Structure 1
Amino acid sequence: MRFNLRWQILLAVLAFSLTAALLSFQVRSASLCTTRVPAAGGVFVEGVVGLPQTFNPLLSDPYPVDRQLVSLVFDGLTQVDASGQIMPALAENWSVSEDGRTLRFVLRDDITWHDGEPVTAADVAFTYGLMQDDNFPGPAALKNLWQSVTINQIDDQTIEFVLTEPYAPFLSETTRGILPAHLLEGVTAVSLADHPFNQSPVGTGPWMVGANQDWQQNGRLQLLPNPMFWREGTQIPVLEFQFFPNETALAEAFADGRVQAMNTVSPEMLPDVAAIPGVRLFTAESPRYTELLFNQGESGAPLLKSAEGRQALAYALDRDAVVDRVLNGQGLPLEGPYLPTSWAYNPAALTQYQYDPTAAQLALSAQGWEKVDGVPVRRNEEGEPLQIRLLTLAGAPHEPLAEEIAWQWADIGIETLVETAVDGAALRASLAEGDFDVALVDIPPPADPDLYDFWSQEAIVRGQNYGRWNNRNASEALENGRQIWPVTERRPYYDTFLRLFNSDLPALTLYQHATTYALSPTVEQAEIGKITQPRDRYKTFAQWFLLYRDVSIVCPAEEITPDSE
């Protein structure tokens, strides 16, 4: 058999090349390592107690779940920042006329609806025009306000509001979400509540409602990141809300891993949730507080008629102990009717009512309520016992709070009868009728510090001054403060109001609410900071991730030490 030399040489070269390639691959493989890096994908599932009623910014006020979802999907002309100031949102800027009656807003030209259509002044005029209709199904206060406003569309980018008189709190009304007129053409106030738009709304906010969903039937709502907001994208493509009938069911789903977050953890549930392995808890200030409202009207207890009597009740309370014992510490100290985020907040104008039972007892004695040996309840000269009716909502946390307050007041000789209202409507009815001595109530203060509808003399008759605080100077300060626009000019009137409030003490703030959010350890790189509005919880969502993928990298060189040589 004869061999071809040229073929032999060629085969030898090929064999050598193949061997070299294999050796090279082995060398390279030996220098590569596998590591895990974040991967796009997955569905982030957040559990919420309750089911949305109407997914519409004009109708969401009475429903907590709805308000949160509306914040994610819709934008207003303006928004409130962390310092309580009104800032632009859909509006680029605005101006106020010299007489303080006309506001003109210029819209941004780079905003579109989730369906790609441009946002125009026609959308704004349509939205606020619905609230002017006599048949508007939303809160009556909204209808009354907007019926007094003339709306003029100047051009596609400019909208004008003409007021009957200067009214600075009006600016905060423009934070309400705007509706797309092109999708609701022909819709009236009567048909708004039942319109299919409310099941799959289109807004301008950071989140879009996914198509073809029936969240009222299956209890799930999926939101998608709006690419116009999340310009660089997100690792997680879907934010899903699952709705639960109660917190117990939600906590079980969270512990089992069926949901990766609990939207809110109540103080009562906090110890159980905190015990779940690996759970991360984020606690933030909430824009509401709980107060004791004192009835100074004819139907109120005699002790409450004087500031000294009301101050005695304040000194007799260890508010820190109330928060610790009933709320597992989930409450923040606060004095007065303004949150720290409000520009009208001024702690220097307020007395810090530290727990001082001695001062409380001296004040009660000075009011003619004396302790008698062997008798637990103080009495006056006529032998009448010192009794107070404390009104609150039934159930946790309000009823346990009331019981704790009653227990503390009993320590200085006050007999407190806790009376409960079955729901919010019953509570409001009792407040309006003056059927209480002291009421334990939650207050979500308005974005603007104008409290005329709560504390003015007029509000005793046509408002929510349920405590019947009758102070002319305080009323005038509130009235003057709402009639001028610059914050620097308004501030002195609210400082005056605060000093008068502090002197008379028509209500005692117990604590500012805190909201706790629970997150599973399966959610990586999630950080949650200060929350001014519900969408703030997801400020860092772009960096959150659920999945990993394996990638090959060059292994780091081994460090040679003298001992290893």
Structure 2
Amino acid sequence: MRWLSGSHRAGFIGLALLKVFASRFSRAEKLTMAGLLVLIVLALGGLAIWREQVGVERPLPGGVFVEGVIGKPQIINPLYARANTVEDDLVKLIFAGLVKTNPSREFIPDLAESWEVQNKGKTYVFKLRENLKWQDGEKLDADDVVFTIQVMQNEAYTGPYRTDWLSVTATAVDDRTVKIDLPDPSTFFLAKTTIGIIPSHLFALLPVAGIGEPTNNTAPIGAGPYQFSQTSGQEAISLEPNQYYYAGTPLIDKIVFVSFDSEKELLTALANGNITAGGFSGAIPTEDLLLPSSHQYIYPLPQYRAVFFNQFGENKAIIADVDVRQALAYATNKEKIIKEVAGGNAEIVNSPILSGFWGNLPDVKTYNYDLGAAANVLTKAGWKDTDNDKVLEKNKQRLAFTVTFKDDKTNALMADILKEGWQAIGAEVNLNPVNSNDLINTIIRPRNYEVLIFGQNLGADSDPYAYWHSSQTADPGLALSLMYDKDIDNPLEMARLSSDLGRAISYYHSFQNAFAKTVPAILLYRPNYTYLVDAKVKGTTESINISSTPDRF
């Protein structure tokens, strides 16, 4: 994944870049890039020939890696970057956190060389590496870490991480020591410290509301392995090695991100040899992603699409009925959704703790698609079609509700499949597509929905508390299934406070069993991330767990 092998490297990269640049840049830019490419190709060719003469297969410094991505970055800042986007990719390479995860999802040092857990799990003390520097050569110290945390705690901060940091106190003990006090022990706290640290010397004089403005993030400065180099129009962004990176200079001389509007365009560019690699997590059928010129790597993402129920809304007589939710679960054709919506490039999800994460209960109760079982549940609960209109009633209440979702092709198709199954068991299903802005601001934040189709990205933090505990149901909390159930809340609370891993896992098993019994949401599928890399590239691997798409690097 990191470099090309042999004499193929120089020729392939030169040809790929020339194809991309010829179609996307102005004449002046083409001339400049052509000169650079001549130097790159000559340098790479010499290295490749030397390596082949010696006859030893090993990675060599140099080379250019051309990555195709969907969309263009808006804010290259770790405090604001949206998950699994080109912004997220860039942030992963440009910035560094206190800790990071390895391919086995274990936490390892990043900017912090070590850490201690004190005060029965309520205090974390991080020791920064010596002589850390930002990419502009300025000193990086504990004040930068505290500044980053305080930005996320500020009321004017509009990024997605405020709830993670609201209740903690961060203190710079000295230049290299940061102490973070928590109100209670948290098994998953380290996952939050993977977020990139931002430089106080560049942002401290700005109002917090301005830190996330695109105009203040056009040339980002971080402490990660690569630094921002240049943009070419609006189509490509180049990164080069960070000379101050604590782990030494990365092997690749340049990483170029080329933007495409759709996965279809990206696939065409790969098939034509215009780019080195590209990732897919949309609806392109799996069989269409088999290119003879590329290696394919498939990674299940730590996220899911789901149907969330608001048991506190105006229609709570319907939504709060556990028999209704169980019947709807039986009448949900997950296999059809994966085939038609995700192009077969996904896995069925039955538990809120995904497989591959500790605490997952493999044999949790499942609701396989079964219209007969769904009908039986409703019949036993007293739901009947008393007026032959194909809609069930109970206590003069019709089995009717509204499903809200983002107005796009993918979600509309998913909603249609759900409606088909639910109508078949006697439900009246009204569909309510809304635009992206309204979905967030007028639907999700005020929790103004009966049934919601939405996705949640867990990242490295698999703590289910934030997504399912009743205390997290109000904005800015992340829990989208509105309910109160002590059999769900209690084990989530106890697992968080437990310092014993075995006991915490036992609590999470109890949580998953309660979840399966009461169905606060219908979990649909977990998308796969398919990464295609030109066959000439060496160093790729499939034996890793990725917490987000940037973990491919």
Check if 1:103 corresponds to 2:148. Answer: no
Taking the aligned partners of 1:433 and 1:182, their CA distance within structure 2 comes to 37
Deviates more, 1:448-457 or 1:36-45: 36-45
Task: State the partner residue of 1:514.
Answer: 528
Provide the secondary structure at the position in 1 that maps to 2:505.
helix
Q: Which residue of 2 aligns with 1:30?
A: none
Structure 2, unpaired ranges of 5+? 1-52
1:45-103 CA deviation, whole Å, 9 max, x = no partner? 22212111111112224783212211122111122445555433222222233254332
Helix, strand or coil for the counterpart of 1:328?
coil
Moved more, 327-336 or 253-262: 253-262
My pick for the range that moved more, 280-289 or 62-71, is: 62-71
Q: Structure 2 counterpart of 1:243, which letter?
A: S
**Which one of the candidate residues 420, 432, 442 is aligned to 2:455?**
442
Structure 1 residues 522 and 229: CA distance shift in structure 2, 3 A: farther
| Structure 1 residue 355 corresponds to structure 2 residue 369 | yes
Assess, with a 3 A threshold, how the Cα gap between structure 1 residues 208 and 534 changes in structure 2: closer, same or farther. farther
In 2, the alpha carbon distance for the partners of 1:430 and 1:183 equals: 36
> What is the Cα deviation at residue 333 of structure 1?
2.1
The corresponding residue for 2:142 is 121
Q: 1:339 Cα shift?
A: 1.8
- Residues 401-430 of structure 1, C-alpha deviations (whole Å, 9 max, x = no match): 111222233333434332212215425633
Which one of 436, 444, 453 corresponds to residue 423 of structure 1? 436
Query: Map of 1:65-76 to 2, 5 A cutoff?
Result: 65-76=86-97
Contact 1:83 1:341 in 2 (8 A): no
Question: Counterparts of 1:518 and 1:524 in 2: how far apart (Å)?
Answer: 13
> Does structure 1 conserve the Cα–Cα contact (< 8 Å) formed by 2:236 and 2:257?
yes
Does the 8 Å CA contact 1:266/1:516 hold for their aligned counterparts?
A: no
Confirm whether residue 57 of structure 1 aligns to residue 72 of structure 2: no
Tell me, yes or no, if structure 1 residue 468 matches structure 2 residue 482.
Answer: yes
Per-residue CA deviation, residues 130-178 of structure 1 (Å, 9 max, x unaligned), is 3344544534x52x66454333222232111233454554433211111
Tell me, in whole angstroms, the C-alpha distance in 1 between the residues paired with 2:378 and 2:531.
Answer: 43
Partner of residue 151, structure 1: 170
Shift of the 90–488 alpha-carbon distance from structure 1 to 2, 3 Å rule, reads farther
- Correspondent of 1:396 among 409, 412, 416: 409
Rounded Cα–Cα distance in structure 1 between residues aligned with 2:472 and 2:122 = 23
**What one-letter code is carried by the residue in structure 1 that aligns with 2:526?**
Q
For the Cα contact (< 8 Å) 1:51–1:219, is it kept in 2?
A: yes
What CA distance in whole angstroms lies between the structure 2 residues aligned with 1:35 and 1:461?
62
Question: Which residue is equivalent to 2:25?
Answer: none
1:346 to 351, 361, 371: 361
How far 1:469 moved relative to its partner? 1.5
Superposition map of 1:3-152 within 5 A: 43-61=64-82, 64-82=85-103, 84-98=105-119, 100-109=121-130, 112-115=133-136, 119-139=140-160, 142=162, 146=165, 148-152=167-171
What letter is aligned with 2:259?
Answer: F
329-338 vs 196-205, which moves further: 196-205
Contact 2:399 2:427 in 1 (8 A): yes
Q: CA deviation at 1:501?
A: 1.7
**How far did residue 441 of structure 1 move?**
1.4
Alignment partner of 2:282 out of 266, 273, 280: 266
Cα deviations by residue, 1:19-69 (Å, 9 ceiling, x for unpaired): xxxxxxxxxxxxxx9999999765322221211111111222478321221
1:219 equivalent in alignment to 2:235: yes
Counterpart of 1:238, as a letter, is K
For 2:95 and 2:224, the matched residues in 1 are separated by 5
The CA deviation string for residues 84-134 of structure 1, in whole angstroms up to 9 with x for no partner, is 554332222222332543321112337554456664323323322333445
Q: How does 1:311-330 map to 2 (within 5 A)?
A: 311-330=326-345
1:482 aligned onto 2:499: no
Partner Cα separation in structure 2 for residue 190 and residue 384 of structure 1: 47
Q: 1:265 to 1:489 in 2, by over 3 A?
A: closer
Q: Which has the larger radius of gyration?
A: 1
Indicate the residue corresponding to 1:305 in structure 2. 320
For structure 1, the residue ranges without an aligned partner over 5 or more in a row are 1-32, 539-565
- Residues 237, 85 of structure 1: CA spacing in aligned structure 2 closer, same or farther, 3 A cutoff? closer
User: Where does residue 179 of structure 1 map in the other structure?
Assistant: 198
Query: In structure 2, do the counterparts of structure 1 residues 465 and 156 end up closer, same or farther at CA, with 3 Å as the change threshold?
Result: closer
What TM-score do the two structures reach when normalised by structure 1? Answer: 0.76
Distance in 2 (CA, whole Å) between partners of 1:334 and 1:246 is 26
Three-state SS of the structure 2 residue aligned to 1:482 is: helix
The change in CA–CA distance for 1:537 and 1:78 in structure 2 (over 3 A counts) is same
Q: Determine the structure 2 residue equivalent to 1:250.
A: 266
Kept in 2, the 8 Å contact 1:55–1:199? The answer is yes
Q: Residue 143 of structure 2 aligns to a residue in which SS? A: helix
1:334 aligns with 2:349: yes
2:179 counterpart residue number: 160
Residues in 1 aligned to 2:311 and 2:155: alpha-carbon distance in whole angstroms: 36
* 338 and 472 in structure 1: CA distance in 2 versus 1, 3 angstrom threshold: same
Q: Give me the CA root mean square deviation.
A: 3.6
Q: Percent identity?
A: 29
What is the alpha-carbon distance in structure 1 between the residues aligned to residue 347 and residue 298 of structure 2? 11
How far did 1:471 drift? 1.0
Letter in 1 for 2:118: S
Q: 1:323 offset after TM fit, Å?
A: 0.9
**TM-score by structure 2 length?**
0.78
CA distance in 1, matches of 2:306, 2:91: 28
Structure 1 464/229 Cα, relative in aligned 2: closer, same or farther at 3 Å?
closer
The number of residues matched between the two structures is: 497
SS of the aligned residue for 1:175 comes to coil
Query: For the structure 1 residues 503 and 137, does the alpha-carbon distance in structure 2 shift closer, same or farther, using more than 3 Å as the test?
Result: closer
